[in-house]
Amino acid sequence: MADTDLQARAHELKFRDPNQAASLARAIERVVAQIDDRPVCLMHVCGSHEQAIARFGLRAILPRAVDVIMGPGCPVCITDMPEVDEAVALAERGAHVATYGDMLRVPGTRKSLADAQADGARVHVVYSIDQAVALARTTSDDVVFFATGFETTAVATAAVVLAGLPPNFSILSAHKFVPPAMEIVAALPDTRIRGFIAAGHAAIITGWKLFEPLAERYRLPIVVAGFEPLDILAAVLRLLELVRDGDARVENLYPRCVTADGNQNAQDQLWRVFEPAGGQWRGIAHVPSGNLALRSEFAHLDARVRFGLRDMPAPRSEDREAVARECICGEIMIGRASPTDCTLFGDACLPEAPVGACMVSSEGTCRIWYQYGGRPDLAPTGTAS
Amino acid sequence: MCLGVPGRIVDINGLVATVDFWGVKRQVRLELVDSPVAVGDYVLNHVGFAIRRIPEEDIEGTLALYEELLQESDQDLMAADVRGEMDSARERDHGGH
* Mean pLDDT computed over A269-277: 98
Does residue B79 belong to the interface with chain A, where contact is any CB pair within 8 Å? no
Q: Answer yes or no: is pLDDT of A385 > 80.
A: no
Q: How confident is the model at residue A11 (pLDDT cuts 50, 70, 90)?
A: very low
Nearest to B3 among A48, A127, A269 (CB): A48
Does residue A117 belong to the interface with chain B, where contact is any CB pair within 8 Å? no
DSSP letters along A293-336, please? EE-GGGGGGBHHHHTTGGGPPPP--HHHHHHHHH--HHHHHTTS
Whether A113 and A250 share a structural domain: no
User: What is the C-alpha separation between A68 and A54, in angstroms, rounded?
Assistant: 11
Whether A216 and A290 share a structural domain: no
Chains A, B: CB contacts within 8 A come to: 134
Contact indicator for A277, A291 with CB cutoff of 8 Å:
yes
User: Looking at residue A316, which CATH number applies to its domain?
Assistant: 3.40.50.11740
Residues of A in contact with B2 (CB under 8 A): 46-48, 73, 149-150, 152, 199, 201-202, 363
Nearest to A371 among B46, B77, B94 (CB): B77
Q: For residue A64, which amino acid is it?
A: R
pLDDT computed for residue A255 by the predictor: 87
Residues of B in contact with A131 (CB under 8 A): 48, 88, 90
Nearest to B78 among A55, A130, A202 (CB): A55
A315 assigned to some structural domain: yes
Whether A289 and A241 share a structural domain: no
Distance from CA of A311 to the nearest CA of B (A): 31
Buried/exposed A182-220: b ≥16 CB within 10 Å, e otherwise: bbbbbeeeebbbbbbbbbbbbbbbbbbebbeebbeebeb
Number of domains in chain A: 2
User: What is the C-alpha separation between A242 and A6, in angstroms, rounded?
Assistant: 35
Range of the domain at A50: 4-75+180-261+367-372
Q: Give the residue, B92 or A306, on which the prediction is more confident.
A: A306
Q: Answer yes or no: is pLDDT of A239 > 60.
A: yes
Whether A184 and A172 share a structural domain: no
User: Looking at residue B62, which CATH number applies to its domain?
Assistant: 2.30.30.140
Q: Answer yes or no: is pLDDT of A364 > 60.
A: yes
pLDDT computed for residue B92 by the predictor: 58
Nearest to A156 among B49, B61, B80 (CB): B49
Does residue A266 belong to the interface with chain B, where contact is any CB pair within 8 Å? yes
Nearest to A127 among B2, B33, B88 (CB): B88
User: What is the C-alpha separation between A42 and A112, in angstroms, rounded?
Assistant: 33
Whether A94 and A66 share a structural domain: no
Does residue A124 belong to the interface with chain B, where contact is any CB pair within 8 Å? no
Beta strands in A90-141 (DSSP E): 96-100, 123-126
Does residue B88 belong to the interface with chain A, where contact is any CB pair within 8 Å? yes
Q: Answer yes or no: is pLDDT of B97 > 50.
A: no
Q: Which of A146-155, A208-217, B78-87 has the lowest mean pLDDT?
A: B78-87
Does residue B75 belong to the interface with chain A, where contact is any CB pair within 8 Å? yes
User: What is the C-alpha separation between A149 and A179, in angstroms, rounded?
Assistant: 13
Of A274, A363, A159, the closest CA to residue B49 belongs to A159
Number of other CB atoms surrounding residue B67 within 10 Å: 9
Q: Answer yes or no: is pLDDT of A158 > 60.
A: yes
Pick from A208-222, A275-289, A319-333, A354-368 the range whose average pLDDT is largest: A208-222
Q: How confident is the model at residue A315 (pLDDT cuts 50, 70, 90)?
A: confident
pTM of structure = 0.89
Does residue A230 belong to the interface with chain B, where contact is any CB pair within 8 Å? no
Range of the domain at B43: 5-91
